[in-house]
Structure 1
Amino acid sequence: MDDSVLDVDQVENLIKFCPTKEEIELLKGYAGDKENLGKCEKYFLELMKVPRVESKFRVFSFKIQFGTQITEFKKSLHTVNSACEEVRNSFKLKEIMKKILYLGNTLNQGTARGSAVGFKLDSLLKLTDTRASNSKMTLMHFLCKVLAERFPELLDFHLDLVSLEAATKIQLKSLAEEMQAIIRGLEKVKQELAASENDGLVSEVFRKTSKEFIAVAESEVASVTNLYSVVGRNADALALYFGEDPARCPFEQVTATLLNFTRLFLKAHEENCKQTELEKKKADKEAEMEKAKGINLIRKTGKDEEEES
């Protein structure tokens, strides 16, 4: 199991070309001169000298990939954790949520929905659906306008949520499957090690390498299992933070909604800034025209006075 000699692709190819049970039985029953056999059959005979060779190759493949697999898995878990913490700890996001609730209650004043104590998370995406009578400004534009005028320090709330986009690309179901694959893989190493105890000299190095690997891998798997449990609790807590049921509004839905809201918010704010710039240019141009009119009027008045005199 020396990964400096064989890489994972080579080991996977060796697994593909392991003899089947039928081929093994045929070769076991062959009584002729083995020198007369083809290269393929000779190769199979060599593999057959190692008990459960395919199982050992699979253990080898798992061992080679284990370090990278654990690193990538931890990276995904930390991303989910970070996203949950960033969202829950963002004072700016919390303040914007308060403003949205206040805005909704103001608009719905006098109706049954005018004294709400909260709103569903997916309502954030409906802010772009509600338009003013001129149909140009949405409620999202109005929210951004109010914040820019009165609470400009809240406009960059997205900078609090640096892990959010990466977290939307992670499925908790995939993490669960990955966790199970790691646990099963390590269990198979232990099973093959136990089975190889009776193999004799041919598996001596395999046993030594496997024991060393298991000693390290068990500690890593225990650590990552604990982290996985913490992440699962934090993912559920994120939905609960917004008053949602984790079963009906899972982590993936929460993060996707927040990311879409952030993008719509930034787009609306950018459009507001462009509109403000256009209006400023228009006002400046009108002011210049008025100024030019005034100058022309003064010149005309002065000329008329000269002609009279």
Structure 2
Amino acid sequence: MLDSLLEFADTRASNSEMTLMHYLCKVLASKSPELLDFHVDLVSLESASKIQLKYLANEMQAISKGLERVEQELVASANDGPLSEVFHNISKVFMDSAELEVRHLINLYSQVGRNADALSLYFGEDPSRYPFEQVTQTLFNFVRLFRKAHEENFKQAEQ
């Protein structure tokens, strides 16, 4: 269903060079011009289209393992006596702060996953078959093609 948005730019009228995307832009310009700048509300779409959730999952795993390693060092330094007291105290302060940050990061990652699934579902796609990366890339391409068609219409109207 979502892929059909990109077909707007490829579907041409039989008697002219106008695409369905150009026609859509013309109709919006005449009936609802305030909708023509919808892309302004999607300012982060290009950045979102570059996010790789699998990469984020790997990074989350690496951060969690790193935190576990720091915690092991903290526990080990507790028994080292006065020699490791400064290291232990500094590590304890770091660990307290890092645990809060990691929990916050895990929460954000979970929200991203839920939002990614919701975005796929909104467009009638199965999140397991149409991943977030593909949804955002398709939407980004649609916006790019829409803006291009609108600019072409505007230039043609000026001539």
Query: Which TM class, normalised by the smaller chain length?
Result: over 0.9
- Could you tell me which residue of structure 1 aligns to residue 135 of structure 2? 254
Displacement of 1:263 in angstroms is 0.6
C-alpha separation between the residues in 2 aligned to 1:265 and 1:174? 30
Displacement of 1:135 in angstroms is 4.7
**Do structure 1's residue 266 and structure 2's residue 147 form an aligned pair?**
yes
Of 160, 169, 172, the residue aligned with 2:41 is 160
- Could you tell me which residue of structure 2 aligns to residue 228 of structure 1? 109
Q: Matched residue of 1:137: which SS?
A: coil
Of 24, 29, 41, the residue aligned with 1:148 is 29
Higher relative contact order (CA 8 A, sep 6+): 2
- Could you tell me which residue of structure 1 aligns to residue 121 of structure 2? 240
Displacement of 1:132 in angstroms is 1.8
Point out 4+ residue stretches in structure 1 off by more than 6 angstroms.
none
- Could you tell me which residue of structure 2 aligns to residue 198 of structure 1? 79
Name stretches of at least 5 consecutive residues in structure 2 with no aligned partner. Answer: none
Displacement of 1:134 in angstroms is 4.0
Matched to 2:43, the amino acid is V
C-alpha separation between the residues in 2 aligned to 1:207 and 1:135? 76
Q: How many matched pairs?
A: 159
State how 1:105-124 maps to structure 2 within 5 Å: 120-124=1-5
TM-score by length of 1: 0.49
- Could you tell me which residue of structure 2 aligns to residue 180 of structure 1? 61
Name stretches of at least 5 consecutive residues in structure 1 with no aligned partner. Answer: 1-119, 279-309
- Could you tell me which residue of structure 1 aligns to residue 8 of structure 2? 127
Matched to 1:182, the amino acid is I
Of 161, 169, 172, the residue aligned with 2:50 is 169
Matched to 2:22, the amino acid is H
Q: Matched residue of 1:212: which SS?
A: helix
Q: What is the aligned-residue RMSD (CA, Å)?
A: 1.4
C-alpha separation between the residues in 2 aligned to 1:225 and 1:145? 45
Of 218, 237, 257, the residue aligned with 2:99 is 218
C-alpha separation between the residues in 2 aligned to 1:137 and 1:220? 53
Alpha-carbon deviations, 1:71-101, whole Å to 9, x = none? xxxxxxxxxxxxxxxxxxxxxxxxxxxxxxx
Identity of paired residues, percent? 72
Matched to 1:187, the amino acid is E
TM-score by length of 2: 0.93
C-alpha separation between the residues in 1 aligned to 2:25 and 2:51? 30
